[in-house]
Amino acid sequence: MHTRRIGDVEVSAIGLGGMPMSIEGRPDEARSLATLHAALDAGVTLIDTADAYHLRADEVGHNETLIAKALASHDRGGDVLVATKGGHLRPGDGSWTLDGRPEHLKAACEASLRRLGVEAIGLYQFHRPDPRVPYADSVGAVRDLLDEGKIRMAGISNANPEQIRQANDILGGRLVSVQNQFSPAFRSSEPELELCDELGIAFLPWSPLGGISRAGELGSAYAPFARIAEAHGVSPQRVCLAWMLAKSPVVVPIPGASRPETILDSFAAADLTLSATEIATLDQV
């Protein structure tokens, strides 16, 4: 199994994003559990979630609860690093809101601990900056959780380079991950990826295949990915993830999935080696 590092933890080079199993268009629980178990069988040891991955206002933490159930019912569940997040909210009307207040983040972490059924969360990430709250205050709450042993590692999400440096400073050099959107359709996080490479901080691209509704369009929208996929006899999605892995050893993609076959195809990207010419071609897309 190909691995990468997040902090002092070795994880599979490809993780699993849990969001599609809990928001709009989600499958039934049986298929979600089958997807999670297929990932564990294949060797996935990083699963990304958040308390905001749910539909209705009365089911906060739906995805965390689902993942906890899957891990508890699989003999490899204890090998998985679960990364969750706090600071984003879903009121239940389809919208997303923010709450970066320290008191909210600390209460959200406690609730995530209960849902995941653990004494300390493996990786806890501040989900998204809240313009109403000083960034230092929000990250300071994560630092407190780290110091108190409520979380084992700390990360941030949807951050710019200045916020990455600021968070790492507030955390006393203990920032281990940055989770930003990055895909062929969304390349504006290149500076953050490069900074993470420089600092040795794991960079976790979210929606690496373009998002739930567009992942299947990757080959048709970006012809070079389709051509290289055909040459290798694999899917354009697999080529996309292999391209990301080739960009830096700190990159750990977390493609979402809600079907066993989807995560198995994604996981196989770690075995795909692209030539320097192919990587250069994809870099120009």
Confidence of residue 146 (pLDDT cuts 50, 70, 90): very high
CA 8, 112, 155 angle in degrees (round to 5)?
35
| 190 within some domain | yes
- pLDDT, position 212: 72
pLDDT for position 1: 79
pTM of the model: 0.96
47 in Cβ contact with 104 (< 8 Å):
no
Catalytic amino acids?
53
pLDDT at position 213: 67
**Residue 58 falls inside a structural domain:** yes
C-alpha pair distances (Å), 282 with each of 45, 212, 246, 247: 28, 21, 11, 11
Helix or strand (DSSP H, E) at 196: helix 190-199
Under the banding of pLDDT at 50, 70 and 90, the label for residue 221 is confident
**Residue 135 sits in which domain range?**
1-212+247-257
**Each residue's pLDDT tens digit, 94-138:** 999 999 999 999 999 999 999 999 999 999 999 999 999 999 999
Is the pLDDT assigned to residue 219 strictly greater than 80? no
For residue 166, give the CATH number of its domain. 3.20.20.100
Average pLDDT on 46-74 reads 97
Q: Number of folded domains in the chain?
A: 1
Residue 186, helix vs strand vs coil: strand
In the prediction, which pLDDT does 220 show? Answer: 83
- What's the rounded Cα separation, in Å, for the pair 180 and 182? 6
- How far is Cα 122 from Cα 191, in angstroms, rounded to an integer? 26
Q: Residue 201: which of 156, 245, 152 has the closest Cα?
A: 156
